[in-house]
């Protein structure tokens, strides 16, 4: 149940409303975890009743009021406990790989455009990550004590970049393989 923990980390980085969290899960923390607003509101409600987060009503002008959540002591403790527990190295789940193996029993060449679409999506994500890296980590910080939050966010982003580069290279490999079956062998 790591959605709880992903939300706690995001709220520690910056308190915010359910809506704002949902937006962050489309970017930033969403690079490695996705969640919809329905999930987020449910979890926030549970964490609130468990005393893991505090809520504050924030009136706004020109916008509907919002509830700003921040991490409370017990939430911080729960996160700390989880951080010290070992987790299993997760296994991947690639629909596309199922399709590629399945293509052997259909027309392999028919998959080419689908793989190209995926390659395109990964190229766009890579560009997006690289732009974010240049914007947020382009300049070295004013030399002072090491900023753990910044450095660790950067390390995670570098993981996203490495992942997208690997995927693009692999999809090129797959395209070359599929190309050899053109015209239904």
Contact by Cβ (8 Å): 34, 25: yes
Binding partner of residue 64 among its own copies, DNA, none, CB cut-off 5 to 8 Å per kind:
DNA
Among 13, 41, 82, 114, binds DNA (CB under 7 A): 41
The answer to whether the beta carbons of residues 35 and 3 sit under 8 Å apart is: yes
Q: How far is the CB of 71 from DNA (least distance, A)?
A: 16
What's the closest the beta carbon of residue 60 comes to its own copies, in angstroms?
28
* Residue 100 binding DNA, by CB under 7 A: no
DSSP E strand boundaries for 37-136? 53-58, 66-71
* Interacting residues of 25 by C-beta distance below 8 A, sequence separation 6+: 6, 10, 33, 34, 35, 36, 40
The residue (of 32 and 134) whose beta carbon lies closer to its own copies is: 32
Using CB under 7 A as the binding rule, whether residue 62 contacts DNA is answered as: yes
CA-nearest of 102, 76, 106, 100 to 185 is 106
Q: Supply the minimum distance, in Å, between the C-beta of residue 124 and DNA.
A: 18
Q: State which residue, 3 or 66, has the beta carbon closest to its own copies.
A: 3
Instruction: Kindly state whether residue 54 participates in binding DNA, applying the rule CB under 7 A.
Output: no
Residue among 37, 56, 76, 182 that touches DNA (CB under 7 A) = 37
Q: Which of 151, 156, 155, 129 is nearest to 141 (CA)?
A: 151
Which residue, chain included where needed, has tokens 């987790």?
A: 87
DSSP class of 16: B
Residues of this chain that bind DNA (CB under 7 A):
1, 3, 17-20, 22-23, 34-39, 41-42, 44-45, 60-67
């Amino acid at each position: 149940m790591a959605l709880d923990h992903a939300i706690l980390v995001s709220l520690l980085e910056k308190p915010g409303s359910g809506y704002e969290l949902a937006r962050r899960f489309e970017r930033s923390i969403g690079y490695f975890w996705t969640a919809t607003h329905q999930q987020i509101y449910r979890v926030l409600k549970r964490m609130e009743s468990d005393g893991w987060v505090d809520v504050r009503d924030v009136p706004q002008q020109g916008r509907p009021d919002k509830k700003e959540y921040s991490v409370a002591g017990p939430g911080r403790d729960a996160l700390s406990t989880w951080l010290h527990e070992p987790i299993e190295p997760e296994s991947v789940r690639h629909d596309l790989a199922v399709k590629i193996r399945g293509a052997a029993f259909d027309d392999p060449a028919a998959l080419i455009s689908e793989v190209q679409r995926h390659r395109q999506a990964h190229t766009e994500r890579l560009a997006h990550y690289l732009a974010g890296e240049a914007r947020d980590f382009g300049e070295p910080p004013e030399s002072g004590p090491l900023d753990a939050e910044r450095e660790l966010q950067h390390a995670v982003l570098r993981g996203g970049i490495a992942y997208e580069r690997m995927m693009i290279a692999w999809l090129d490999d797959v395209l070359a393989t599929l190309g050899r079956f053109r015209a239904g062998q």
